[in-house]
Chain A
């Protein structure tokens, strides 16, 4: 019952690996990578901003896949519902982080905290889409898992719609640096190393946190079940002497 997604030892090892890779990222991002020719040290925020955005998309993708797997009758399992919920929570966290970090980066570079740029607006809408999903998850009741899975898929379907509509509307954000058509990093070698390392470190962190969050959700469900069992046992114990008494009187 108290199993996480991964074994206990794997989970702990992953935690240490994530921590270590984040420390290495700190060194790579702050010391090894040179400051940007134009933006100076402010550009170092990229090593947090880009992987945070990547994680947000990864997390929402995992939520959508897990929700689809829950809805598919052959693979229906409470496991997928929990994975979807845990991943969506991380997605909202990292989307929020992306927005905050982007805002902090935008201030020195663009001179503004917020711009009505396509990618910023898309990310903000994405944030609210999944905040709504998390709100829905908190509501108990019959068919909760199925309701949430359908809502997750609707939100996921909406992401490209939001993206294209906003893209048409306006564009100011710089184009993707790493994930462009040639898939060749158009930046300094050491910077590219730090950027790729940051993606790796954040992905490790994501898997670790997903496992922890999943475990917590399983424990929560377990506790609810036990409390219910205990309450039933207590009521039965209360009823028992009364029934004996009634039997003696008759």
Chain B
């Protein structure tokens, strides 16, 4: 098997577990939705504040949900010594990384579609440049999934992982949050030229952390 086939195998395994356990559907997705609702309580919806800051709120909600998705991605490896199984499977470390990050990314993309619809309806936002929006979301999701999976495995064997992952991950993805928000603001405002540099930055970050993850994941899985 080559790298992609191995990665697809791992991703399919994770997604199959999600499809059967429905944790993402019944817990992570409602969590993201309730965060959107809470923002409406915090920022008075009548004054048009929500529509102005909608891209930022959307990405904060996605990031918070991503924390849950990452912790879930490694929680499924703790039961029945699945982690040892993964080590013994003979799959390449980089392939496992790509597979797990890919599964997290697909879950997040599904979440973004639902939350994005929610934002458009609840916060009364129009999208002018769908192409920019989609590419920004893809790049940002890849970056978040790659960094999340990297820190997920770093903290996977530790008892304090639930509290450790957010404190490690959030500062690292702060630039992703910034870039994604600016790109989406440009798309919403209808000035896509402002957004493209940010998409380039997001793609660069995604490539950077995918590279780091592919290099480091095997070691982290084996030796920690």
Contacts and interface: CB of A to CB of B under 8 A. Distances in A.
B160 A132 contact: no
Contact of B219 (A125, A142, A146): A146
Q: Could you tell me the dominant secondary structure of chain B's interface residues?
A: helix
Interface string B132-174: 0000000000000000001100110110100010011011101
A241 interface: no
B140 to A, nearest CB: 12
B84 to A, nearest CB: 13
B223 interface: yes
Interface residues of A, number: 29
B34 interface: no
B100 interface: no
A176 interface: no
A89 B198 CA distance: 33
A136 interface: yes
B186 to A, nearest CB: 12
A169 B171 contact: no
Given A125-B171, A154-B150, A165 B178 contact: yes
B4 to A, nearest CB: 25
B154 A164 contact: no
Interface residues of B, number: 31
Contact of B168 (A142, A151, A162): A151
A128 interface: yes
Contact of A147 (B170, B204, B220): B220
A155 interface: yes
B224 interface: yes
Interface string B190-204: 000000011001001
B216 A150 contact: yes
Given A139-B158, A141-B157, A166-B178, A146 B223 contact: yes
B111 to A, nearest CB: 23
B175 interface: yes
B216 A139 contact: no
A144 B182 CA distance: 37
A165 B175 contact: yes
Given A165-B179, A166-B175, A139 B167 contact: no
B171 A150 contact: no
A67 B62 CA distance: 32
B212 interface: yes
A150 B201 contact: no
Contacts of B179: 165
Contacts of A164: 201
Interface in A97-129: 125, 128-129
Given A129-B171, A142-B224, A164-B201, A147 B154 contact: yes
Contact of A135 (B164, B205, B223): B164
A158 B175 contact: yes
A72 to B, nearest CB: 13
A129 B173 CA distance: 10
Select the residue from A125, A132, A142, A146 with max chain B CB neighbours within 10 A: A132
Contact of B224 (A147, A162, A165): A147
Interface in B70-99: none
B137 to A, nearest CB: 17
Contact of A161 (B150, B164, B182, B208): B208
A185 interface: no
Contacts of A150: 154, 216, 219-220
A168 interface: yes
A166 B154 CA distance: 27
Contacts of A161: 175, 204-205, 208
17 contacts: A125-B175, A129-B172, A132-B167, A132-B168, A135-B168, A136-B155, A141-B158, A146-B223, A151-B168, A153-B212, A154-B151, A154-B209, A161-B205, A161-B208, A164-B201, A165-B178, A169-B182
Interface of B: 150-151, 154-155, 157-158, 160, 164, 167-168, 170-172, 174-175, 178-179, 182, 197-198, 201, 204-205, 208-209, 212, 216, 219-220, 223-224
